[in-house]
Amino acid sequence: MLPGRIEAQGHPAEFYTAPPTLRAARFFGGTNEIRGAVVGQEFFCALGRLRVAPGGRPNSLTATVLDVRFHGTHHTVRLALPGAVTFTVAAPPTLALGPSEVMSVHLPPAACRVFPGEPESARAASPSDTSPQESFRA
């Protein structure tokens, strides 16, 4: 339930792994958003047109490590992507990374969602609004 209304029904694990709406995704956390527009089969956003990074895996991007924090069972790694976009990901505790390192990041297609844009009233509350048509969650 969000702002007094039922947003979705089901098992909490489903909302975390496959949220039915952008609001549900934000509520359950662990969400990286890229705002942009879907035109045909392409997604245009602050990253430009999403392209395959060297290495040839679909949904791969080149990123620079900004920050690494150890949490015992995993690291939380904050990454900078082109276009001033940042992502936060969980990584194994054995991964040896440091700030400024450049790496390829794979976004599994099954973990990506595209949601319709929000109404104007909801976007007005967002300070980083660039009048998106869609929101991409990874």
Q: Name the domain count of the chain.
A: 1
Q: What pLDDT sits at residue 100?
A: 95
Cα gap 15→92, rounded to integer Å: 23
Picking from 21, 18, 16, the residue whose alpha carbon sits closest to that of residue 7 is: 21
Q: What pLDDT sits at residue 57?
A: 63
Cα gap 25→59, rounded to integer Å: 20
| Residue 58, domain member (yes or no) | yes
Q: What pLDDT sits at residue 95?
A: 85
pLDDT tens digit sequence for 69-94: 999 999 999 999 888 888 898 889 89
Phi-psi region of 40 (alpha: psi -120 to 50; beta: other; left: phi over 0): left
pTM, 2 dp: 0.62
Q: What pLDDT sits at residue 124?
A: 40
| Residue 76, domain member (yes or no) | yes
- The residue range of the domain holding 62 is 32-137
| Residue 7, domain member (yes or no) | no
Cα gap 102→62, rounded to integer Å: 7
Q: What pLDDT sits at residue 130?
A: 38
Write the secondary structure of 36-59 as one string of H (helix), E (strand) and C (coil): EEEECCEEEECCEECCCCCCCCCC
| Residue 9, domain member (yes or no) | no
Q: Which residue positions in the chain have pLDDT lower than 70?
A: 1-2, 40-42, 50-58, 118-138
Give the single-character DSSP code of 2: B
Cα gap 80→104, rounded to integer Å: 11
Q: What pLDDT sits at residue 2?
A: 63
